[in-house]
């Protein structure tokens, strides 16, 4: 059975419309409580990012859960991976994050973690959806849930992050610029690195409810690149609005993406003698990553886009490392989900142990030119079911021959069709991507961005 509401990373949309109306969110929270609170703890944690709509949605989630008889603990603004961690340590039945991740402020959503801090399975999401078609039934008054606030949630997570690296590691002498995307890590990330000894320059750490991800963070790191150079910093750290994506910047202002960071983490793990024979990327992972890992006898498994798919393949192949080029980096030896702060700390530990700068540490991986064009879609469009799209794709693959690869996919979080072309010749890749995007747009969409 196909899911109607859940996408690749929870449920999200424009606030006030579709799945983000007060009525729907209230019932979704109630259904989530009914399905997930079937154990002795009867407890669900609620966290959020810094969007202005978080105030409204937090109240609705609280109301829906207590109507289902579930006790709640409010965490306030907290990174998504922090909710995963606290769900485990507080022995809760589940954790709910009110966030739309890297999307603009006018979107919001719900991400849900199970008791072990992992994303929900398709089966559980279908169980929740099945209750949405029926009536919402409130438990008897004496069975209603109760609500408390956890005042020290940020401090608990901060200490967990610091403990993820060896106790002898000090960041003294490092100057780091940290871009918090005006998001959920604004009151945590700078303190983590500062308490470990680094000189920290904060940027995009003053949320006002509508500036989250606005020309900042992991999805818009241009300002960070300039800041690193202006401050003569050793490196920069860009985090997205909910704290699960990481992009870094070297001392010269060059971007270091999730593929490059995965290469660094994997090769360092092998140097330490860890059994790192394989890692997981996605269909979007750069061909240069696959080749560089192969030279170190490390296999790259490719998952569908989305950190939940990466995690599923990691578990299947018993891998401790997985990542997306966009910055979701999962270190299963440290935590259960993508965590920007944890991943950045692992990178810094490697740089200190090797006595290298970031640029030198990733220099052995040479990225192939890769062009990605987003084609807005007017509606849900099934690429595999369109004979026109498939004909266009096959023609483009024949034209590119063995000089690269092409990927067409529908975004799981936005109404977009992503056109990716990769190969050794940048001019050819650029031309092929533009031509293919134009043809896709003429078939199913209104414009190209």
Asked if the structure places residue 364 within a domain, the reply is: no
Q: What is the DSSP string of 173-221?
A: T-EEEEE-TTSTTTTTHHHHHHHTT-EEEEES----SS-TTTT-STT-T
pLDDT at position 100, please?
96
CATH code for the domain in which residue 384 is found: 3.30.310.50
Choosing from 211, 234, 255, the residue where a domain stops is: 255
Q: Is the pLDDT of residue 121 over 70?
A: yes
Dist CA 343 CA 328 (whole Å) = 9
Average pLDDT over every residue of 246-262 = 98
Look-up of token digits 């006002």:
208
Structurally, the chain folds into a number of domains equal to 4
Digit-coded pLDDT (tens) for 255-305: 999 999 999 999 999 998 777 899 999 999 999 999 999 999 999 999 998
Residue 101: active-site member: yes
Q: Is position 42 within any domain?
A: yes
- pLDDT for the residue numbered 9: 85
Say whether both 44 and 127 belong to one domain: yes
pLDDT beyond 60 at 52: yes
325 & 415 share domain:
no
Selected residue with higher pLDDT from 378 and 87 = 87
CA distance 190 to 182: 12
> Among 53-62, 260-269, 391-400, whose mean pLDDT is lowest?
391-400
Examine the pLDDT at 379 and tell me if it is beyond 80: no
How far is CA 193 from each of CA 83, 159, 312, 327, rounded to the nearest angstrom? 20, 11, 31, 19
Cα distance between residue 399 and residue 396, in whole Å: 5
My answer on whether 250 and 327 are in the same domain is: no
User: Same structural domain for residues 267 and 248?
Assistant: no
At residue 105, the pLDDT reads: 97
247 by Cβ neighbours in 10 Å (0-12 / 13-18 / 19+) ranks as buried
Q: Is residue 304 part of a domain?
A: yes
**Residue 185 and residue 262 share a domain:** no
Tell which of 255, 285, 319 closes a domain: 255
Q: pLDDT confidence of 233, banded at 50, 70, 90?
A: very high
53, 101, 164, 220: the catalytic one is 101
If 0-12 CB within 10 Å is exposed, 13-18 middle and 19+ buried, where does residue 9 land?
Answer: buried
Q: In 3-state terms, what secondary structure has residue 435?
A: helix
Q: Answer yes or no: is 85 within a domain.
A: yes
The three-class DSSP label of residue 137 is coil
Classify residue 294: in a domain, yes or no: yes
| Whether the Cβ atoms of residue 183 and residue 239 lie closer than 8 Å to each other | yes
Average confidence score pLDDT of the chain: 93
Give the domain range for residue 199: 175-255
Token pair of 100, please? 């739309």
Interval 117-124 mean pLDDT: 93
Residue 43 lies in a domain: yes
* Least confident range of 6-10, 76-80, 211-215, 246-250: 6-10
Query: What pLDDT is recorded for position 74?
Result: 98
Rounded to an integer, the average pLDDT of 416-428 is 88
Does residue 386 carry a pLDDT above 80? no
- The mean pLDDT of 215-230, rounded to a whole number, is 98
Answer yes or no: do 202 and 111 share one domain.
no
| 445 confidence band (pLDDT: 50, 70, 90) | low
Q: What is the mean pLDDT of residues 52-68?
A: 98
Q: In this structure, are 216 and 308 located in the same domain?
A: no
Is the same domain home to 48 and 139?
yes
CB 10 within 8 A of CB 111: yes
> What is the C-alpha separation between 415 and 379, in angstroms, rounded?
7
The last residue of one of the domains, among 255, 288, 311, is 255
Note the pLDDT of residue 402.
76
pLDDT at 378: 65
The pLDDT value given to residue 385: 65
CA distances in angstroms from 170 to 160, 192, 266, 350, 351, listed in the order given: 16, 12, 22, 12, 11
Q: Taking 80 as the threshold, does the pLDDT of residue 403 lie above it?
A: no
Mean of pLDDT values over 341-360 = 98
Q: Which pLDDT score, from 0 to 100, does residue 275 have? A: 74
- Asked whether residue 365 is assigned to any structural domain, the reply reads no
Question: 32: pLDDT confidence band, cut at 50, 70 and 90?
Answer: very high
CATH classification at residue 223: 3.40.120.10
């Amino acid at each position: 059975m196909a899911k109607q509401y859940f996408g690749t990373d929870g449920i999200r949309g424009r606030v006030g419309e579709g799945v983000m109306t007060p009525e729907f969110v209230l019932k979704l929270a109630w259904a989530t409580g009914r399905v997930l609170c079937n154990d002795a703890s009867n407890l669900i944690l609620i966290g959020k990012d810094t969007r202005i709509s978080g105030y409204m949605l937090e109240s609705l989630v609280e109301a829906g859960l207590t109507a289902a008889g579930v006790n709640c603990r409010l965490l306030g603004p907290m990174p998504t991976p922090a909710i995963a961690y606290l769900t485990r340590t507080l022995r809760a039945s589940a954790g709910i994050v009110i966030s739309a991740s890297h999307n603009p402020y006018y979107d919001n959503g719900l991400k849900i973690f199970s008791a072990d801090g992992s994303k929900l399975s398709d089966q559980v999401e279908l169980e929740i959806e099945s209750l949405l078609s029926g009536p919402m039934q409130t438990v008897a008054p004496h069975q209603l849930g109760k609500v408390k606030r956890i005042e020290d949630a940020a401090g608990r997570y901060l200490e967990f992050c610091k403990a993820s690296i060896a106790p002898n590691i000090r960041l003294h002498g490092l100057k780091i610029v940290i871009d918090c995307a005006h998001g959920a890590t604004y009151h945590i990330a700078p303190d983590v690195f500062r308490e470990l000894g680094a000189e920290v320059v904060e940027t995009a750490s003053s949320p006002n409810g509508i500036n989250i991800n606005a020309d900042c963070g992991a999805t818009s790191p241009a300002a960070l690149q300039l800041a690193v150079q202006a401050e003569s910093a050793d490196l920069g750290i860009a985090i997205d609005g909910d704290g699960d994506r990481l992009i870094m910047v070297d001392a010269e202002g060059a971007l270091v993406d999730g593929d490059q960071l995965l290469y660094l983490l994997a090769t360092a793990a092998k140097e330490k003698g860890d059994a790192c024979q394989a890692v997981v990327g996605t269909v979007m992972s750069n061909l240069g990553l696959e080749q560089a890992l192969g030279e170190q006898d490390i296999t790259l498994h490719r998952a569908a886009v989305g950190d939940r798919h990466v995690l599923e393949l990691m578990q299947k192949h018993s891998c401790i490392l997985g990542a997306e080029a966009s910055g979701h980096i999962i270190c299963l030896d440290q935590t259960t989900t993508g965590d920007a702060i944890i991943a950045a700390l692992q990178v810094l530990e490697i740089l200190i142990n090797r006595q290298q700068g970031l640029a030198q540490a990733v220099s052995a991986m040479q990225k192939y030119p890769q062009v990605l064009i987003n084609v807005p879609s007017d509606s849900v469009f099934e690429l595999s079911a369109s004979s026109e799209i498939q004909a266009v794709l096959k023609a483009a693959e024949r034209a590119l021959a063995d000089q690269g690869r092409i990927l067409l996919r529908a975004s799981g979080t936005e109404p977009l069709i992503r056109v990716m072309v990769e190969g050794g010749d940048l001019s050819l890749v650029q031309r092929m991507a533009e031509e293919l995007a134009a043809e896709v747009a003429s078939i199913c969409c209104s414009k190209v961005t």
